[in-house]
């Protein structure tokens, strides 16, 4: 009977057949995210660094559990027997793996095939990125619609219709990840030098914290660094990719198209430093430039870009200037620009997972600490500096399930650590991390906002503190900034 429900055992059988078919397809197509998975020897290096603790509750302390569950299943042609939705896509596992096995990338590929979020892909096709309304549930679920509306009116982040049309034409003819070859041994990174001109990226997540974007522009102007922007620039695809809404090839094509847009803003022979307030954007551009260094990959990308009259022919002339790498080059100038030392603030630091992924190390980078110290704020060290904040993906999952106030294990850990050290606020390098901390009730500022405050920026007009969910007034009022 057509309308009759299938018995539960049949549903399980069908689901298992589908998921094993997914794995077989991914392995057969040689998805780049599966590269080197056979090199995994379950050494256990990654398991302790999994912030979501994807571990076997019956075997505590089993250091090789995470990798073995993932790679052993693949070697047998099966789906990993773990809850993939628990993965927050921080890539800590890949960052610490001595053999460069991308456990996080494997999980991303399988999750993408099984749980593709059509709503995020539709937003890319309709708006060229994550528009403001993508974040609406995060506000209505907390009864903060007025904050959302104020940002949407004042800071809409418009994208040119020509750009949206180009994105649509690209993504309606998707490429398979398997057409790209792994980059092999990456070329040595060119040391970042002090640029006199940069391209400033518009981040989708920056909608939530327009003050971070405005602060970045104030800092660049004060340093005498000219910045270019373009309404033809769209989402890099990073956030939709990690949340299951854009595939590996989608992100690559979106970022490559933006490289063509950025090139148009400069002279053909100019070296171009790309900066912005989002490390997920930085990671997207760094990963794409690494892949485009291979001529075969570049040919595939340019064939697709040719449909919209674009190409990327000179990836070696671009460099990624993340704020944690760029601003430390100007420490002396920043010290001179400080008007108000924030010496009464006790702050904790949180370095984003995707910045660590881009740099291939879990070590605390000196950039964030040095920049925070410039402001006079007192940095309080903590073991939580090495943890993931809990992830934007987890935050969206909670709101979609109608449990916006149900903090994840990671959220609880970082919140308890914040309270234990009696901190005034957290300082982050990522608007996504800022969003997560803000929603768990922790006062938080992006490093650009902290620097701008020390440089005399208006807390309301430039840093736009009223847009935060968790009030910054107690901390800033105590040191006389409000």
Q: How far apart are CA 445 and CA 19, in angstroms?
A: 41
- By the 10 Å C-beta count (0-12 exposed, 13-18 middle, 19+ buried), 286 is classed as buried
pLDDT value for 312: 93
Q: Which helix (H) or strand (E) holds 444?
A: strand 444-446
- By the 10 Å C-beta count (0-12 exposed, 13-18 middle, 19+ buried), 416 is classed as exposed
Helices (H), 6-132: 8-29, 65-75, 92-96, 103-114, 118-127
pTM beyond 0.85: the answer is yes
Q: CA 388, 32, 38: angle at the middle one, nearest 5?
A: 85
For each of the domains in the chain, give its residue range(s) and CATH number, in order of start.
Answer: 10-114 (no CATH), 118-325 (1.20.1050.140), 338-478 (3.40.50.11810)
Q: How far apart are CA 154 and CA 462, in angstroms?
A: 12
Sign of CA dihedral 255, 312, 179, 290: negative
Are the C-beta atoms of 448 and 323 separated by less than 8 Å?
yes
Tokens 């989402």 correspond to what residue?
A: 235
Helices (H), 224-294: 238-242, 248-264, 279-292
Sheet holding 425-428, edge to edge: 378-379, 346-350, 425-428, 444-446
Reading the block at residue 167, the tokens are: 């994105």
Q: How far is CA 298 from CA 50, 74, 257, 295, in A?
A: 33, 29, 12, 5
Helices (H), 97-237: 103-114, 118-127, 136-140, 145-154, 161-171, 210-223
pLDDT tens digit at each of 482 positions of the chain: 344 444 444 544 444 554 555 566 666 666 777 777 777 877 777 877 777 776 555 555 555 567 777 777 777 777 777 777 778 788 888 878 877 787 888 887 777 766 656 677 788 888 888 888 888 888 888 888 999 999 888 877 777 899 999 999 998 888 888 788 876 655 556 678 899 999 999 888 888 999 999 999 999 999 999 999 999 999 898 888 887 777 888 889 999 999 999 999 998 889 999 999 999 999 999 999 999 998 999 999 999 999 999 999 889 999 999 999 999 999 999 999 999 999 989 999 888 888 988 887 777 778 899 999 999 999 998 877 777 888 887 788 787 777 777 787 778 888 888 888 899 999 999 999 999 999 989 999 999 999 999 999 999 999 999 999 999 999 999 999 98
Q: How far is CA 21 from CA 7, 25, 223, 280, in A?
A: 21, 6, 55, 31
Sign of CA dihedral 351, 357, 362, 368: negative
Sheet holding 226-228, edge to edge: 226-228, 197-200, 272-275, 318-320
Are the C-beta atoms of 117 and 244 separated by less than 8 Å?
yes
What one-character-per-residue DSSP string does 276-322 give?
-S-HHHHHHHHHHHHHHTSHHHHHHHHHHHGGGT-----GGGEEE--
In this structure, the number of other CB atoms found within 10 A of the CB of residue 469 comes to 19
Q: How far apart are CA 3 and CA 327, in angstroms?
A: 63
For 3-37, b/e burial (b = at least 16 CB within 10 A) is eeeeeeeeeeeeeeeebeebbeebeeeebbbbbeb
Residue 320 pairs in a beta bridge with 274
pLDDT value for 60: 54
Using DSSP bridges, classify how beta strands 346-350 and 197-200 pair: parallel, antiparallel or unpaired: unpaired
Q: How far apart are CA 180 and CA 292, in angstroms?
A: 10
Tokens 């056979």 correspond to what residue?
A: 38
Q: How far apart are CA 139 and CA 109, in angstroms?
A: 30
- Residue 49's φ and ψ, nearest 5 degrees, are -95, 5
Residues 6+ apart with CB under 8 A from 426: 347, 348, 349, 350, 418, 437, 442, 443, 444, 445
pLDDT value for 58: 53
DSSP 472: -
Sign of CA dihedral 27, 30, 32, 37: positive
Q: CA 113, 118, 123: angle at the middle one, nearest 5?
A: 135
pLDDT value for 116: 59
In this structure, the number of other CB atoms found within 10 A of the CB of residue 242 comes to 28
């Amino acid at each position: 009977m057509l309308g009759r429900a299938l018995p539960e055992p049949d549903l399980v059988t069908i689901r298992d057949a589908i998921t094993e078919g997914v794995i077989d397809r991914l392995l057969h197509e040689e998805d780049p995210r599966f590269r080197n998975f056979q090199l995994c020897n379950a050494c256990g290096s990654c398991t302790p660094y999994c912030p979501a603790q994807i571990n076997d509750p019956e075997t505590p302390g089993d250091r090789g559990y995470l990798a073995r569950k993932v790679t052993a299943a693949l070697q047998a042609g099966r789906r990993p027997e773990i809850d993939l939705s628990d993965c927050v896509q921080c890539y800590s596992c890949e960052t610490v793996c001595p053999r460069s096995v991308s456990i996080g990338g494997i999980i991303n590929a399988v999750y993408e095939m099984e749980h593709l979020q059509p709503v995020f892909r539709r937003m890319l096709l309709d708006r060229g990125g994550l528009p403001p309304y993508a974040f609406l549930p995060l506000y209505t679920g907390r009864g903060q619609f007025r904050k959302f509306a104020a940002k949407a009116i004042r800071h809409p982040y418009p994208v040119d219709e020509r750009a949206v049309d180009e994105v649509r034409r690209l993504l309606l003819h998707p490429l398979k990840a398997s057409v790209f070859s792994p980059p092999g041994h990456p070329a040595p990174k060119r040391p970042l030098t002090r640029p006199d001109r940069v391209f400033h990226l518009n981040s989708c997540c920056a909608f939530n914290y327009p003050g971070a974007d405005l602060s970045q522009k104030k800092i660049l102007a004060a340093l005498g660094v000219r910045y270019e922007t373009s309404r033809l620039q769209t989402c890099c695809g990073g956030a939709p990719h990690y949340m299951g809404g854009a595939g590996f090839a989608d992100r690559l094509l979106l970022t490559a198209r933006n490289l063509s847009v950025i090139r148009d803003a400069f002279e053909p022979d100019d070296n171009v430093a790309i900066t912005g307030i989002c490390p997920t954007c930085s990671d997207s551009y760094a990963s794409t430039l690494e892949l485009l260094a291979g001529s075969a990959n570049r040919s595939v990308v340019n064939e697709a870009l040719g449909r919209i009259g674009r190409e990327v022919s000179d990836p070696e002339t671009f460099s990624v200037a993340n704020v944690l790498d760029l601003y430390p080059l100007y420490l002396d100038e920043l010290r001179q620009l400080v008007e108000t030392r924030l010496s009464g603030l006790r702050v904790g630091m949180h370095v984003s997972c995707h910045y660590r992924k881009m740099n291939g190390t879990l070590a605390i980078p000196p950039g964030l600490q040095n920049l925070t110290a410039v402001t006079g704020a007192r940095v309080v060290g903590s073991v939580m500096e090495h943890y993931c904040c809990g992830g934007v993906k987890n935050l969206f999952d909670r709101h979609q399930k109608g449990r916006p106030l149900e903090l994840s294990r990671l959220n609880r850990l970082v919140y308890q650590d914040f309270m234990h050290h009696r901190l005034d606020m957290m300082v982050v390098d990522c608007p996504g991390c800022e969003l997560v901390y803000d929603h768990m009730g922790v006062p938080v500022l992006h490093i650009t906002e902290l620097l701008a405050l020390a440089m005399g920026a208006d807390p309301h007009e430039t840093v736009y503190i009223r847009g935060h969910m968790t009030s910054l007034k107690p901390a800033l009022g105590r040191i006389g900034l409000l």
